[in-house]
Structure formats: C-alpha cells, structure tokens
Amino acid sequence: MIQIGKYNFDGPWSLSSTSLIDRAAVYAILCSRSNGKYDVVYVGETGQAGTRLSNHERTTCWSRNCGSLLYVVVFWTPSDQYSTDDRLKIEKELRDQYDPPCNRQ
C-alpha cells in the first residue's frame, strides 16, 4: 500500500507485468526513482481499470517521462460507496496536488 495525497492506494505494481480487473478506480502511474521514492506521472479514473490501462492513449507520455520503471497504484472505488462524480473529484484533487506531467497535455 502507498499513500497518494490523503488516499491509501493498493500497489505499487509494475505496469508491464500487471493485469488489473475491470472495477471502478482512481489510479496513478508512478515512476520509480533510484532513492526508492516515486514520482506521479499521471492520475486517472475509470469504471474499468483493467481495460482502461491495457490500451491507454497516454502510454507514450508515461514512457517518455520515465522509461521502463513505471508502476501503477489503484484506489478502488466500488459503486456502492463511490459515484462517478466522487471518482472525478478525487482525480481532480490529486491532479491539482501533484501536477503530473502527462495530465498537462
């Protein structure tokens, strides 16, 4: 588990070797640094995490900003507890806090 903002995310898992299930979530793409810390490269939300991450249009940006040390973390947002608006709010809050480079384009 890792804390991003005020949320506890599951992971991090290597982006290249992880298959996520299709559940609603807010997710972050992280770049691993040599000091054991991570930089937030991208923050997104989806109703189907696995499908969304398997063919995301920003993968080129993620690689350009990090290379092969990409990781994903997930804050699961089950529909009985979170609405789509809740996911969008969390996504915006984290984007505003971290200003990830691949969310700027």
Which residues are within 8 A (CB) of 47 and not within 5 positions of it... i.e. 6 or more apart?
Answer: 24, 84
CATH of 2-103, one of 3.90.1140.10, 3.40.1440.10, 3.10.290.10, 3.40.50.970: 3.40.1440.10
Residue type present at position 48: Q
Q: What is the pLDDT along the chain (105 residues), one digit of tens a residue?
A: 999 999 999 999 998 887 788 899 999 999 998 788 899 999 999 999 888 888 899 999 999 999 778 999 999 999 999 999 999 999 999 999 999 999 986
Cα–Cα dist 82/26, whole Å: 11
pTM: 0.93
The residues spanned by each domain of the chain are: 2-103
For residue 45, the one-letter residue type is E
Residue 35 φ/ψ, nearest 5 degrees: -85, 10
